Amino acid sequence: MLKPGDVVFYARSPASEFCDAVEQVIPNNSYFHVALAVSERSLVEATPEGVLERTLKDSLDDNQPGIVEILEVKGIPESTILKAATWCRSKVGFPYNDLFSADLMNSDDLESYYCSQLITEAFRGVEMHWPTHTLNFLNCDGNLIEFWIEYFRKRGRPQVPQGDVGSHPGQLRRSPVLVLKMRILPTKMNLNTLKESKLLELSSHFVGGNHVEFVSNRQFPVMEPRSGRKLATWHYANAEQVDLVVKTAKNAQKTWAGSTWMERNEVLKKTAELLKTHCDDIAYWECLSNGKPISEAKADVLSCVDTFNFYSGIAHDLLGHHIPLDPTRYAYTRRLPIGVVAAIGAWNYPIQTCTWKTAPALACGNSIIYKPSPLSPVTALILGEILKTAGLPDGVFNVIQGDAETAQHLIHHDDVTKVSFTGSIPTGKTIMAACAERNIKPVTMELGGKSALIVFEDADVDSGVACAMMANFYSQGQVCSNASKVLVHKGVLKEFLEKLVKKTKELKIGDPLKDETQVGAHISEVHRTRVEGYINGAINEGATKICGGDRIQVPGLENGYYLSPCILTDITPNMTVYKEEIFGAVLLIIPFDTEEEAVGIANDTDMGLAAGLVTKDLAKSYRISEQLNAGNVYVNTFNDVSPLVPFGGIGESGFGRENGVAVLEHYTQLKSVFVNTGACPNPF
């Protein structure tokens, strides 16, 4: 976060009477301390204990500011800035100027400095354009502050030096050559009062173990789908800020990679415990920023508990192998961390997608930079705080907000050594190309799908209806593995359709925060309109709407993005809805006669994320599962998931896997070592 010459200002809320008194002496001021960065990891500050060099973290822990601002010096030669930092470092060990005297002498007649004086002296002779300042110890009523009267009396100075020449952090902050680089909010998020906290006011990013606000001219609204109202305005990270985050992650990864497997496992296990403890409040924020029903949000958080628990015990799968070759030769393999992982998440399962990438990456000893979707950017920040509370070293897990431009900066960075992406097929292709554009780096892709569910004639119809609804109506149909094509044998079509329509019409659409709600709000107005476009387009192409597809007005949330689940029939292969991923609650009924016909329709796509079938015939389930071109096949269920089982697609749906032991291949690199225990024979 730091570079030599950065000026670091500390603002409210001070935790001591001294800091409070310093703050009062400039009207409308909240700054009580200032320091100078002398390296990427440390700063020098004048404190009542003397001039100290320490890490930013140690300084924050000691000073307990409410806000920290890091400013760059602009318009001054780099050599001059570095000279100031070097001079400042040379004063480490000098005492504190407890008299604030301009002659740099303290009450013991020793050369000394107070905090802002150390900065002005470091830049002495440089055109810093500090505003003039005289020492002021008066309150707003024009009377001497009692604290300062007693302060100077104790030091043998009966007179308070009111009006003497001096400096103050609040005065230095106004220099026109200081440009704000970032704000840090070091006060921890209170996990015990998450629902009541002003979480959206904390910051947009989580970097180096702190909630951070970058200065950027590119903003985006954080929207609440359930009401359509704007919750906050946040900022995208730019190229320079991405570079800072990557460097932070790279430095932190070295320490984390050197930790033992048991140390890593303890952090992941503690993370699981904290997720479980705070499940309800995390689900509240997931619901608020995503629009899915609170019952689903809670299930998502609990699935994250399972994921962290699973990877907390994965160490034995990271072991290498010993391979004897002959009596004097052997080889062994080591599975090593891959480095800095850039993970780009989707908006439909915000915290679950983040967890699926984060837990295995951390278990393998990597650091991670997670970029959530701007449409659901909140809960990744909560996970950052939970990981920090669980003992994860600062900088190992980071969250940056961004759009496609930010993602490109992240992917192209030379120090990013692995990319994991969940999202649409077009974006995946762009990212894959970018991963080979400047430097080759491995990438895994979990992309979209156009899946099918086959309901055979021997199926239990009620079970088939349940599977069809599970395959289409979770999260308002915004699920990549959804089977929008529901293939129903003509022998059970009438009964199936009657029961499906009845159950679909009974679904409770409403406020996602209410426990009884089964269908919540779409992620955005734009996306709801897109789903409506698919429905209307299908009708124009000859499909029949059986039910749903209507905008719903929820009392008190009239501007929310609600749409009733839709069922369409009379679907033909030339229709857009037959070929494209809808990503909404639009279920297509397609009758069939034979197994061959059903399998042909199910496989009639370039995508291959999921497929399913409903049957009582075990032999048939095995036979059909082998024929379906999909990375995930569901028999008498759909959209089932477990951290123990790999998840991913084939074809246009991507490659690589999330979950299970298989994912460890993607977050590690294998090193083979050959050893000859005897003398090396010369073949020449």
3-class DSSP string for 599-652 = HHHHCCCCEECEEEEECCCHHHHHHHHHHCCCCEEEECCCCCCCCCCCECCEEC
What's the rounded Cα separation, in Å, for the pair 249 and 596? Answer: 52
What's the rounded Cα separation, in Å, for the pair 634 and 258? Answer: 40
Strongest mean pLDDT among 126-135, 138-147, 380-389: 380-389
pLDDT for residue 438 is more than 90: no
- Residues with a catalytic annotation lie at 446
What's the rounded Cα separation, in Å, for the pair 270 and 267? Answer: 5
Report residue 2 as tokens.
């730091």
What's the rounded Cα separation, in Å, for the pair 317 and 555? Answer: 52
Q: How many CA atoms lie within 13 A of 248 on its CB side?
A: 27
Task: Give me the pLDDT at residue 391, please.
Answer: 97
Task: Give me the pLDDT at residue 653, please.
Answer: 97
Q: Is the peptide bond before 625 cis (omega within 30 degrees of 0)?
A: no
What b/e readout covers 583-611, taking b as 16+ CB neighbours within 10 angstroms? bbbbbbbbbbeebeebbebbeebebbbbb
Tell the residue number behind the tokens 């999921």, with chain if given: 610
Q: At what angle do helices 261-277 and 294-312 cross, to 10 degrees?
A: 160
**C-beta separation of 350 from 286 below 8 A:** yes
Q: Please state, as a whole number, how many other Cβ atoms lie within 10 Å of the Cβ of residue 80.
A: 14
pLDDT for residue 16 is more than 50: no
Q: What is the DSSP letter of 482?
A: -
The residues that bridge with 367 in the sheet, in sequence order, are: 340
The residues that bridge with 668 in the sheet, in sequence order, are: 337
Listed by start position, the domains of the chain span 6-185, 240-447, 452-644
To the nearest 10°, report the CA torsion of 608, 661, 268, 208. Answer: -60
15 confidence band (pLDDT: 50, 70, 90): very low
- Of 131-140, 243-252, 485-494, 509-518, least confident by mean pLDDT is 131-140
If one looks up domain 6-185 in CATH, what number appears? Answer: 3.90.1720.10
**C-beta separation of 59 from 139 below 8 A:** no
350 confidence band (pLDDT: 50, 70, 90): very high
Share of residues in the chain with pLDDT > 90 (%): 90
Amino acid identity of residue 56, one-letter, is L
- For 247, residues 6+ apart whose C-beta sits below 8 A from its C-beta are 40, 415
pLDDT in tens, 145-203: 999 999 999 999 989 999 999 999 999 999 999 999 999 988 667 888 888 777 787 67
State the alpha helices, DSSP H only, in 397-554. 404-412, 425-434, 461-470, 493-505, 525-540
What's the rounded Cα separation, in Å, for the pair 105 and 113? Answer: 8
Q: At what angle do helices 350-363 and 294-312 cross, to 10 degrees?
A: 0
Of the options 3.30.230.10, 3.40.309.10, 3.30.56.10, 3.40.50.300, the CATH number for the domain spanning 452-644: 3.40.309.10
What's the rounded Cα separation, in Å, for the pair 598 and 456? Answer: 9
- Average pLDDT rounded to a whole number, residues 134-144: 89
Task: Give me the pLDDT at residue 29, please.
Answer: 66
- Average pLDDT rounded to a whole number, residues 348-356: 98
Pick the closest to residue 605 from 623, 590, 620, 622 (CA basis): 590
What's the rounded Cα separation, in Å, for the pair 497 and 10? Answer: 65
pLDDT for residue 19 is more than 50: no
Amino acid identity of residue 408, one-letter, is Q
Pick the closest to residue 585 from 535, 656, 517 (CA basis): 535
- For 316, residues 6+ apart whose C-beta sits below 8 A from its C-beta are none
Of the options 3.30.1310.10, 3.10.20.600, 3.40.605.10, 3.30.70.1290, the CATH number for the domain spanning 240-447: 3.40.605.10
Q: Can you state the percent helix, strand and coil of the chain, rounding each to 5? A: 35, 25, 40
What's the rounded Cα separation, in Å, for the pair 546 and 122? Answer: 76
The reply to whether 6-185 and 452-644 are identical in fold is no
21 confidence band (pLDDT: 50, 70, 90): low
Task: Give me the pLDDT at residue 199, please.
Answer: 78
Task: Give me the pLDDT at residue 185, please.
Answer: 87
What's the rounded Cα separation, in Å, for the pair 389 and 392? Answer: 7
What SS3 state is found at 250?
helix
To the nearest 10°, report the CA torsion of 95, 96, 102, 104. Answer: 0
**Secondary structure of 305-361 in the HEC alphabet?**
HHHHHHHHCCHHHHCCCEEEEECCEEEEEEEEECCEEEEECCCCCHHHHHHHHHHHH
What's the rounded Cα separation, in Å, for the pair 34 and 53? Answer: 13
Report residue 524 as tokens.
């955005």
Task: Give me the pLDDT at residue 28, please.
Answer: 55
Beta strands in 513-575 (DSSP E): 544-547, 566-569
pLDDT in tens, 394-434: 999 999 999 999 999 999 999 999 999 999 999 999 999 99
- Average pLDDT rounded to a whole number, residues 103-124: 96
Report residue 556 as tokens.
């008190």
Share of residues in the chain with pLDDT > 70 (%): 97
pLDDT in tens, 443-468: 999 999 999 999 999 999 999 999 99
Report residue 42 as tokens.
């440390």
Phi, psi of 430 (to 5 degrees): -65, -45
Q: What is the DSSP letter of 492?
A: T
- Of 19-33, 520-534, 642-656, 660-674, least confident by mean pLDDT is 19-33
pLDDT for residue 74 is more than 50: yes
Q: Please state, as a whole number, how many other Cβ atoms lie within 10 Å of the Cβ of residue 515.
A: 8
Pick the closest to residue 104 from 124, 76, 129 (CA basis): 124
- 559 burial (CB, 10 Å; 0-12 / 13-18 / 19+) is middle
pLDDT for residue 274 is more than 80: yes
- Average pLDDT rounded to a whole number, residues 85-106: 96
**C-beta separation of 264 from 358 below 8 A:** no
The residues that bridge with 105 in the sheet, in sequence order, are: 111
What's the rounded Cα separation, in Å, for the pair 512 and 227? Answer: 10
pLDDT in tens, 552-602: 999 999 999 999 999 999 999 999 999 999 999 999 999 999 999 999 999
Give the mean pLDDT of the chain: 94
